[in-house]
Chains A and B, each alone.
Chain A
Amino acid sequence: MKKLQSTLPNMILSLGAITVIAGALLGAVYSATKEPIAKMEKEQQVEAIRQVAPPFDNDPEADAWSTDIDGRPFIVYPAMKGGKLQGAAVKGGSMNGFAGEIIVMAGFTLDGTVRDYQVLSQAETPGLGSKMQLWFRDPAGARSVLDKNPSQTAFYVSKDSGDIDAITAATISSRAFLETLRDAYDAYLTYAKSQGVEVAPAKQQS
């Protein structure tokens, strides 16, 4: 077949046909993958809640309650068993990291002790701030935040006279992470109060 000449009708027809076909194919792929993508995102969320929150038999997403702490949204996913509050997973973030937003899912038991946490998204420096997912569960020194209660342990880095060791060479990332946990704790505290459960306020720097 001979190559089409570059006349105006030829160019319009050819480009038009290509974009229409490409658009149709993309539309087909989009509608085919739309459901799996939505399902995947929901599953990741549920998986993160399941991992950090105490065992529950309700649907935490249906019971979710959101609040604003320092102008940022925090979502509390309560974990109930037999209709009684067991604790919660709290999703929230901070913009005070070294690069971009940090979003954490933190799990609290009924009295506000940190049960577990998952860093959902962060863009900190690779090898430094990005270690937060592992660092704050490392039992060495005073790194771990697990099984600590913000009302007894000051969730600040030791440099700011707190009780948690910052990631080596990543104090800013560590501050932002601990700030997120403190705010998440505050969100949980407010939610627990609305459910008739008193949780002690967070301890400040000594």
Chain B
Amino acid sequence: MKNYWKLIYNGIVPGNPVFVLLLGMCATLGTTSSAMNGLMMGVATAAVLICSNAVISAIKNLVPDKVRIPAYIVVIASFVTALQLVISAYMPALNASLGIFIPLIVVNCILLGRAEAFAGKNPVIDSVCDGLGCGIGFTFALTLLGGVREILGTGKIFGSEIFPEDYGMLIFVLAPGAFLALGYLIAIVNRIRKTSC
């Protein structure tokens, strides 16, 4: 049991996909214009990651080594497409704000990265824990980045006002602000990691 907690913890702090592994930057920068968008994108990615990790780990012995990458991509793409259909059918608001980014989960390197590095070599339950950990880590990073950008850019957090929007720095809602905010967050997180371990 201890082992599983360690696997989950590893994805959240020491091996955080965004702040430490620097994976999935495209989705990270593109979708985090607000805390809510970041959270939703994180949850969607985590759901796909857990499912794809489980399935890939289950079929790893049935897939010859030379064709493992296309096989993994088909598994991941199937889950993403299914997720997209479900979201557009039952969650129209989410579909409106994240619609174009959902298909991009397919090419998010976190998914293929975890499939290659972990799920392809480990048992199913371990892989699910790894997916859960990385998913939580990714969601946490995206929500944090989205929150920082939302506060600095519009003076709001999760849509509720902290200071008037007129004092917001618009650049943080736009693309350049995403790079700035992410750079500083990575620096801060790594500083904290260095001093605490």
Residues on the B chain within 8 Å of A11, using CB: 64, 66-67
A-contacting residues, B32-79, CB 8 Å = 33, 59-67, 70-71, 74-75, 77-78
Give bound CA distance, A123 to B170, whole Å: 16
Neighbour of B64 across the interface among A14, A29, A37, CB < 8 A: A14
Q: Are A4 and B62 in contact, with the CB atoms below 8 A? A: yes
Complex: chain B residue closest to A120, CB-CB: B96
Q: Are A125 and B174 in contact, with the CB atoms below 8 A? A: yes
B117 at the interface (CB under 8 A from A): no
Q: Are B65 and A14 in contact, with the CB atoms below 8 A? A: no
B153 at the interface (CB under 8 A from A): yes
A3 at the interface (CB under 8 A from B): yes
Q: How many whole Å from B152's CB to the nearest CB in chain A? A: 12
Residues on the A chain within 8 Å of B82, using CB: 25-26, 29
Residues on the B chain within 8 Å of A33, using CB: 85-86, 88-89
B-contacting residues, A1-54, CB 8 Å = 1-7, 10-11, 14-15, 17-19, 22, 25-26, 29-30, 33, 36-37, 40, 44
Complex: chain B residue closest to A36, CB-CB: B89
A127 at the interface (CB under 8 A from B): yes
Main secondary structure of the interface of A (DSSP, over half): helix
Q: Are A37 and B71 in contact, with the CB atoms below 8 A? A: no
Complex: chain B residue closest to A4, CB-CB: B64
Q: Are B65 and A6 in contact, with the CB atoms below 8 A? A: yes
Q: Are B88 and A40 in contact, with the CB atoms below 8 A? A: yes
Q: Are A127 and B66 in contact, with the CB atoms below 8 A? A: no
Give bound CA distance, A40 to B90, whole Å: 8
Q: Are B75 and A22 in contact, with the CB atoms below 8 A? A: yes
Q: Are A6 and B64 in contact, with the CB atoms below 8 A? A: yes
Complex: chain A residue closest to B81, CB-CB: A26
Residues on the A chain within 8 Å of B113, using CB: none
A126 at the interface (CB under 8 A from B): yes
Q: How many A residues face the partner with a CB closer than 8 A?
A: 28
A128 at the interface (CB under 8 A from B): yes
Give bound CA distance, A37 to B168, whole Å: 37
**Interface mask (A106-130 → B, CB under 8 Å = 1, otherwise 0):** 0000000000000000000111100
Q: Are B59 and A18 in contact, with the CB atoms below 8 A? A: yes
Q: Are A15 and B67 in contact, with the CB atoms below 8 A? A: yes
Residues on the A chain within 8 Å of B62, using CB: 4, 14, 17
Q: Are B88 and A37 in contact, with the CB atoms below 8 A? A: yes
Residues on the B chain within 8 Å of A10, using CB: 64
- Pairs across A and B, CB under 8 Å, 27 listed: A1-B61, A3-B61, A6-B65, A6-B66, A10-B64, A11-B64, A15-B71, A17-B62, A18-B59, A18-B71, A19-B74, A22-B78, A25-B78, A25-B82, A26-B78, A26-B81, A29-B81, A29-B82, A29-B86, A33-B85, A37-B88, A37-B89, A40-B92, A125-B174, A126-B174, A127-B154, A127-B174
- Known pairs A25-B82, A40-B88; list 11 more (Cβ under 8 Å): A3-B60, A3-B65, A4-B62, A4-B64, A14-B63, A15-B71, A22-B74, A25-B78, A29-B85, A40-B89, A126-B173
